[in-house]
């Protein structure tokens, strides 16, 4: 992509990683909304969306954050990121399946920043999840304010296409209802929006599926961990990060306890 085609960030986004993440996710979401109007369907639409959003995000990061490493679902994994101090972890199009099924709105763009805090450690320090279908970008610069819980029973967001069996058993144990939807980002954000109260997943995912949503969830005061209650760790050599919990803090003990007792198989 030539730099002349690139959207230009506002000055405040250039100066602030939270706002840059939010701006980049938003413009990639706009690009995806455009791709969705171009008459493509099925696999062609999925591939065009993945590629367009990836190309745009990589070009924006190269232009405006040239010293930083990038880990993208759609790019080659350059292991130089393991020695870098700052790594952008991006999922250009999360919920690719749902993106290809207009008018579904459960798809998202994820942009997260990981920063080194020690020789072998680091943390997510900024993140943004754009949900163009909702017209909103949720981000760490202005974290979502989680509304008071409205549902009488807890609601657990699960994958629409591959809900893990143990989450059904968990729901029965704690008296919860399942809310199926696409996209890891949309599910995490659904907890912050009081559309669900928890997102519980196991069986497979990669760092880019959860990094940005988890950064936003933490900034909003939600609980985040692996399903066994241990911390989610990013910018690892192996980017397979197959399970997670994001929930209202008051639900975390019951969910972790269930997994420790019954496992996820
Ligand atoms: N078992 C699994 N193995 C690998 N990736 C998985 C997975 N289950 C979910 N994911 C990924 O997590 C994201 C959300 O999935 P779901 O909507 O089913 O909950 C999707 O990301 P992408 O759309 O970026 O590929 C999907 O590929
Ligand atoms: Mg994804």
Q: Which of 192, 180, 96 is nearest to 138 (CA)?
A: 192
Nearest 5 degrees, angle CA 207-CA 41-CA 51?
40
> Whose alpha carbon is nearest atom 18 of ligand 1?
159
Residue burial 62-86, b: 16+ Cβ < 10 Å; e: rest: eebbeebbbbbbbeeeeeebeebeb
Give the environment of ion ligand 2: residues with CB less than 5 A. 91, 94, 209
Inform me whether the pLDDT recorded for 2 exceeds 60: no
Inform me whether the pLDDT recorded for 3 exceeds 90: no
- Encode pLDDT of 196-243 as tens digits: 999 999 999 999 999 999 999 999 999 999 999 999 999 999 999 999
* pLDDT computed for residue 5 by the predictor: 82
* pLDDT computed for residue 167 by the predictor: 97
Mean pLDDT of 28-55: 98
Nearest 5 degrees, angle CA 178-CA 219-CA 104?
40
Q: Does 209 belong to an annotated binding site? A: yes
How far does residue 73's CA lie from ligand 2's centre (Å)? 7
Q: Does 68 belong to an annotated binding site? A: no
* pLDDT computed for residue 265 by the predictor: 87
Rounded Cα distance, 87 and 265, in Å: 33
Tokens encoding 212: 């940005």
Q: Mutation test of ligand 1: which of 53, 54, 73, 159 has the most ligand atoms closer than 8 Å to its C-beta?
A: 159
Ligand nearest to the CA of 240: 1
> Whose alpha carbon is nearest atom 1 of ligand 1?
204
How far does residue 214's CA lie from ligand 2's centre (Å)? 13
Contact 104, 133 (CB under 8 A): yes
Ligand 1 in reach of 205 Cβ (< 6 A): yes
ipTM: 0.98
pTM of the predicted structure, to 2 decimals: 0.97
In order of 31, 120, 230, the CA distances from 191 in angstroms are 26, 31, 20
- Encode pLDDT of 91-106 as tens digits: 999 999 999 999 999 9
* pLDDT computed for residue 1 by the predictor: 57
How is domain 3-139 classified at the architecture level of CATH?
A: 2-Layer Sandwich (3.30)
Q: Which fold has domain 155-262?
A: D-Maltodextrin-Binding Protein; domain 2 (3.40.190)
Q: Does 73 belong to an annotated binding site? A: yes
Ligand 1 in reach of 94 Cβ (< 6 A): yes
Q: Considering the chain, what is the average pLDDT of its residues? A: 97
Ligand 1 in reach of 73 Cβ (< 6 A): yes
Residues 6+ apart with CB under 8 A from 181: 98, 106, 157, 158, 160, 187, 190
Rounded Cα distance, 5 and 172, in Å: 52
Instruction: Map out the domains of the chain as residue ranges.
Output: 3-139, 155-262
- Encode pLDDT of 158-197 as tens digits: 999 999 999 999 999 999 999 999 999 999 999 999 999 9
* pLDDT computed for residue 35 by the predictor: 98
Alpha helix (H) ranges present in 70-202? Answer: 96-99, 165-174, 184-192
Contact 44, 91 (CB under 8 A): no
Tokens encoding 184: 């890891």
* pLDDT computed for residue 226 by the predictor: 98
Reported confidence tier of residue 27, pLDDT bands at 50, 70, 90: very high
- Encode pLDDT of 109-131 as tens digits: 999 999 999 988 999 999 999 99
> Quick one: which atom of ligand 1 is closest to the CA of 162?
18
Ligand 1 in reach of 162 Cβ (< 6 A): yes
């Amino acid at each position: 992509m030539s730099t002349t085609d690139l959207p230009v960030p506002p000055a405040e986004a250039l100066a602030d990683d939270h706002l840059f993440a939010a701006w980049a996710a938003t413009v990639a979401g706009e690009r995806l909304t455009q791709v969705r109007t171009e008459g493509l369907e099925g696999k062609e639409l999925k591939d065009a969306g993945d590629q367009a959003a990836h190309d745009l995000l990589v070009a924006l990061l190269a232009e405006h954050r040239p010293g930083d490493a990038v880990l993208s679902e759609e790019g080659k994994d350059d292991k130089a990121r393991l020695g870098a101090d700052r790594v952008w972890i991006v999922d250009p199009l999360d919920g690719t399946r749902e993106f290809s099924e207009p008018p579904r709105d459960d798809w998202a763009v994820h942009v997260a920043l990981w920063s080194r805090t020690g020789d072998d450690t680091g943390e997510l320090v900024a993140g943004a999840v754009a949900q163009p279908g909702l017209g909103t970008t949720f981000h760490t610069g202005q974290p979502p304010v989680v509304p008071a819980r409205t549902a009488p029973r807890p609601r657990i967001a699960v994958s629409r296409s591959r809900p893990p069996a143990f989450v059904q058993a968990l729901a029965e144990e704690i008296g919860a209802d399942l809310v199926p939807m696409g996209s890891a980002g949309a599910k995490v954000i659904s907890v912050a929006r009081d559309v669900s109260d928890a997102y519980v997943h196991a069986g497979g995912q990669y760092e880019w599926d959860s990094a940005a949503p988890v950064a936003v969830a933490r900034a909003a005061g939600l609980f985040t961990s692996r399903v066994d209650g241990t911390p989610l760790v990013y910018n690892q050599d192996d980017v397979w990060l197959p399970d997670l919990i994001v929930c209202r803090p008051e639900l975390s003990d019951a969910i972790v306890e269930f997994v420790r007792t019954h496992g996820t198989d």
